[in-house]
Structure 1
């Protein structure tokens, strides 16, 4: 499968009479863009706000991030969700690189919603502080969710995807600044020298713990809770086959933006034929019942063993209950003779003294930590708040508590509530140090 990603690098964003990309400037016709948002009658009030790196802006509650894209040939964007159900991962996709659509609640947040600071110490915590953010700030008529800690946020999350597709259309017929090509051949097409390299798989454990549909990550538009672990060509992931769900503490979330830009997968693709034989991506789920966890771990091992894998990387979305799925998968791999590295964040408590994972095994002897969800952050006030700051404490954000917001607008909170802070897909500059 061959996928071409044509990148158009954004230098700035502004509003104007026409939605157009020219000389590095993305100009947005706000009225036209909002008409796309209001196509869903559940959206009752919406605005678009631009937030640039180093602006004195705090954004919360953030629900998802989506990269502006346009499918030029060979399929559909987000198949099975906003477009026809067809295979992803082939043809050409054009991308407005450096830009991002953030879905932001105008008022209501929840356990799974996060905060982004565009400047100051808080900006170091998440990659989204370094992008040109096109903030869709909206309210919906989903009143039954307003006072629920767990929210599906369906209308707003889908509106952000539609808006990102609308913006991407302006570069459909243009020539990109640069082209990334991802072309992982099938096993029977491999050169002999590649067949001799260490055979490696990547396992992506998607958040899918909620029994009711609408909260969980989606694979080709289908709730990940309903699936067994599945082998996927890496191009499918990079081309929109997986969409972020709503459930998961914010720092641990893998956004839709990060799925299509999964840096670990991109690096594995670059290393294919050089240092490794990359066999593909096993997309799995994170479950609640022990039998479900065991079933998924068993299937992951069976798929990898059938491919002849010798090494594996397991990426967990989240922490807590999912740690059992994570450790079970690693243990199954190690028992099968597949050397495994795990990537996850940890919850060591505010004093750093708690057990980092709920479940542990001596077989999990190569783990990469992407951060401590309980780390306390003290953030100065910002001149502008996009969304509603009160949602941090009022609506159960997993990083806030009563008293987090000070009288001067400064904040004391856990890393838990910073949007996608721990970047388990590798899309951040955090450094891992072994002590």
Structure 2
């Protein structure tokens, strides 16, 4: 399968008379864009704002981020979401690089929502401070979940996917500045020199724990709570087959932007044919009961062994209950002779002294930590807030609170905040581009 992604590098995003891309500038006709998004009858109010790196801007509550892309063949960028089902992983895409379409609650937040600071001390905690974020600030009529801590955020999330495709149509007929090519031959059809290299598979565990449908990640438009582990070409992930969900403490999430650009996949591609034979992706899941967790680990281990994997990278979207799936999967692979490196965050408490994963095992001998979800972060007021700052304290965002006996409320009267790293939007970057490191004292 051969996937070509033609990249257009966005230097700035501005509002203007027409929606177009020229000389690195993405111009948006704001009225037309709002009319396009508000075609969804469930969106009752909205605005569009643009946040640039280095601006004294705080964005919260963030629900989703998507890279603007369009397929040259005119098919849906996100099969089963923005259009009909199609086979993902091949063909030509055009992408607007350096920006995201970001879904933001106009008022109401939820457990899986997060925060980004575009400058200052807070900017270092999230990759999204480095992007130009086109913020769809939206209120909806989804009253059934307005005061719920867990929200599906369906209208806002779907608006992001559709609007990202809308913007990218500006470059559909243009010649890209750069083209990335992702291609893997069939496992049994590879060059002898490649086949001799150590074979590696990536095991991804997207969020799929919520038994009520609509909260989880979606694969080909299919709620992943109904999913069992299967083998996939990595191009399918990069080509929009999977989108992010709305259930998970936010620093642990994979946004759709993360999945479209999954850095661990790209790094494995770079080493393919040089130091490793990259077999592909075993797309697994995260479960509720122990029996489900064990079943998934059996699927993954047997699949990896049948593929002839010498090694595996296992990465989970989340922590806590998902740690049981993560550790059990690692152990099952090790038991059949597949050497594993795990990538996840950890939850060591505000003092850093608690057990990092809910479940530990002596077979977990090579783990990469992307940070402590419970780390306390204190940040000064921002000159501008996109969304509603009070949602961090009021609406049950993981990492925020209305009041604490010692620390007081997350949102102070002067606009400064104190919160756990949990609330940083996709802040732990378990997808593979975390800038965090570990220091020993």
Range of TM-score over shorter length: over 0.9
Query: Once the two structures are superposed, what CA deviation does each residue of 1:244-287 show, in whole Å capped at 9, x if it has no partner?
Result: 01100000000000001000000101111110001100111100
Query: Once the two structures are superposed, what CA deviation does each residue of 1:64-102 show, in whole Å capped at 9, x if it has no partner?
Result: 100010011385311011111011111110000001010
Say whether residues 1:426 and 2:432 are aligned partners: yes
Aligned ranges 1:9-408 → 2 under 5 Å: 9-73=9-73, 75-402=75-402, 403-408=409-414
2:370 and 2:434 in contact (8 A); partners too: no
Query: Once the two structures are superposed, what CA deviation does each residue of 1:101-139 show, in whole Å capped at 9, x if it has no partner?
Result: 100000000111000000111100000001000000000
Aligned-residue CA RMSD (Å): 1.0
Please state how far the C-alpha of 1:193 moved relative to its aligned partner: 0.6
Please state how far the C-alpha of 1:433 moved relative to its aligned partner: 5.2
C-alpha distance in structure 1 between counterparts of 2:198 and 2:74, whole Å: 31
Query: Once the two structures are superposed, what CA deviation does each residue of 1:175-209 show, in whole Å capped at 9, x if it has no partner?
Result: 01101000111123211011100010001101111
C-alpha distance in structure 2 between counterparts of 1:141 and 1:17, whole Å: 30
C-alpha distance in structure 1 between counterparts of 2:382 and 2:440, whole Å: 35
SS at match of 1:285: coil
SS at match of 2:285: strand
Which residue of structure 2 aligns with residue 411 of structure 1?
417
Deviating more after overlay: 135-144 vs 65-74: 65-74
Please state how far the C-alpha of 1:34 moved relative to its aligned partner: 1.2
Query: Once the two structures are superposed, what CA deviation does each residue of 1:289-315 show, in whole Å capped at 9, x if it has no partner?
Result: 111101111101111111010100001
C-alpha distance in structure 2 between counterparts of 1:136 and 1:286, whole Å: 30
Q: Which runs of 5+ in 2 are unaligned?
A: 403-408
C-alpha distance in structure 1 between counterparts of 2:342 and 2:74, whole Å: 34
C-alpha distance in structure 1 between counterparts of 2:247 and 2:40, whole Å: 22
Distance change in 2, residues 1:74/1:16 (3 Å): closer
Please state how far the C-alpha of 1:432 moved relative to its aligned partner: 4.5
2:379 and 2:416 in contact (8 A); partners too: yes
C-alpha distance in structure 1 between counterparts of 2:73 and 2:431, whole Å: 27
Which residue of structure 1 aligns with residue 3 of structure 2?
3
C-alpha distance in structure 2 between counterparts of 1:255 and 1:427, whole Å: 13
C-alpha distance in structure 1 between counterparts of 2:74 and 2:282, whole Å: 23
Query: Once the two structures are superposed, what CA deviation does each residue of 1:125-173 show, in whole Å capped at 9, x if it has no partner?
Result: 0000010000000000001211100000000000011110100000000
C-alpha distance in structure 1 between counterparts of 2:33 and 2:188, whole Å: 46
1:298 and 1:332 in contact (8 A); partners too: yes
SS at match of 1:357: coil
C-alpha distance in structure 2 between counterparts of 1:69 and 1:191, whole Å: 33
C-alpha distance in structure 2 between counterparts of 1:433 and 1:93, whole Å: 40
SS at match of 2:209: coil
Q: Tell me the matched-pair count.
A: 435
TM-score, scaled to structure 2: 0.97
C-alpha distance in structure 2 between counterparts of 1:432 and 1:12, whole Å: 34
Q: Which runs of 5+ in 1 are unaligned?
A: none
C-alpha distance in structure 1 between counterparts of 2:42 and 2:412, whole Å: 34
C-alpha distance in structure 2 between counterparts of 1:283 and 1:327, whole Å: 16
TM-score, scaled to structure 1: 0.99
C-alpha distance in structure 2 between counterparts of 1:101 and 1:393, whole Å: 25
Deviating more after overlay: 402-411 vs 73-82: 73-82
2:75 and 2:83 in contact (8 A); partners too: no
